[in-house]
Amino acid sequence: MRTSLALLASLALLTACADRAESGDGGGGAASDGISRADLDLMVAYDAGDGSAPAEWTLSCLGEPTGTHPDAQAACAHLSGLDDPFAPLPGDLACTEQYGGPQTAHVTGLWHGEDVDVELSRTDGCRISQWESLVPLVPPGS
């Protein structure tokens, strides 16, 4: 009897999963263009460098922007207008020796299905430019 109940429960679960997959939901919130919610989800860890507690924000840019980011709408609109917002800086890039401030940020997640893992800072001209190109995902420098 127990085996029959377990078998029935398993079949019901498999049927529910198959129905979700066929409907395009699949648990990931798939869009009609085949991009799943996870393909446009980011996590931002921001440290102002002033001794205050670091902040963490989530951002999802599929459909209506959502997450805990202070301005999800502006961040998603800005990122969507960039060709490759999280491209790494070239290793042989010559950068000006200037200091833009103590702020740091770590952005992780997926953007259009590509892994994102970018450490941002304002320690030289190249990194300041990289940072500024991602405002409003990160706050403007001080």
One-character DSSP codes across 107-137: EEEEETTEEEEEEEE-SSHHHHHHHHHTTTT
Query: pLDDT (tens digit, 9 = 90+) per residue, 55-64?
Result: 999 999 988 9
Least confident of 16-30, 84-98, 100-114: 16-30
Within 10 angstroms of residue 51's Cβ, the number of other Cβ atoms is 7
pTM, entire model: 0.73
Residue 72 backbone dihedrals phi, psi, to 5 degrees = -55, -40
In a 10 Å sphere around its CB, with 0-12 CB exposed, 13-18 middle and 19+ buried, how is residue 66 labelled? middle
Query: pLDDT (tens digit, 9 = 90+) per residue, 100-124?
Result: 999 999 999 999 889 999 999 999 9
CATH architecture, domain 31-133: 2-Layer Sandwich (3.30)
Query: Domain map of the chain by residue range?
Result: 1-29, 31-133
Residue 57 backbone dihedrals phi, psi, to 5 degrees = -130, 150
Instruction: Give the pLDDT of residue 37.
Output: 52
